[in-house]
Amino acid sequence: MIEIDPGDVEWSPIRAQGAGGQNVNKVSTALHLRFDIRSSSLPDAVKDRLLCCGDQRISSSGVVIIKAQRYRSQERNREDALSRLRRMLEEAAFVLPERRPTRPTRASERRRVDSKVRHGQIKAGRQKISHD
Q: What is the DSSP letter of 33?
A: E
Report in angstroms the alpha-carbon separations of 28 from 34, 56, 63, 69, 82. Answer: 17, 24, 22, 10, 18
Higher-confidence residue of 19 and 122: namely: 122
- Predicted confidence band of residue 67 (pLDDT cuts 50, 70, 90): confident
* Inter-residue contact 52 to 24 (CB < 8 Å): no
Exposed e or buried b per residue across 49-67, where buried means at least 16 C-beta atoms within 10 angstroms of its C-beta:
bbeeeeeeebeeeeebebb
Q: Average pLDDT, whole number, for the chain? A: 85
Report the percent of the chain where pLDDT is more than 90. Answer: 26
- Predicted confidence band of residue 21 (pLDDT cuts 50, 70, 90): low
Q: What φ, ψ does residue 68 adopt, rounded to 5°?
A: -115, 115
Name the CATH topology of 6-92. Double Stranded RNA Binding Domain (3.30.160)
pLDDT at 20 over 70: no
Residues 102-119 have a mean pLDDT of: 97
Summarised one tens digit per residue, pLDDT across range 79-98 is 999 999 988 888 888 888 99
pLDDT of residue 119: 97
Q: How far apart are CA 43 and CA 28, in angstroms?
A: 34
pLDDT of residue 10: 82
Q: How far apart are CA 34 and CA 66, in angstroms?
A: 7
What is the number of other CB atoms lying within 10 angstroms of the CB of residue 22? 7
Q: How far apart are CA 85 and CA 3, in angstroms?
A: 11
CA angle 51, 53, 55 (to 5 degrees): 95
Q: What is the pTM of this model?
A: 0.66
pLDDT of residue 69: 84
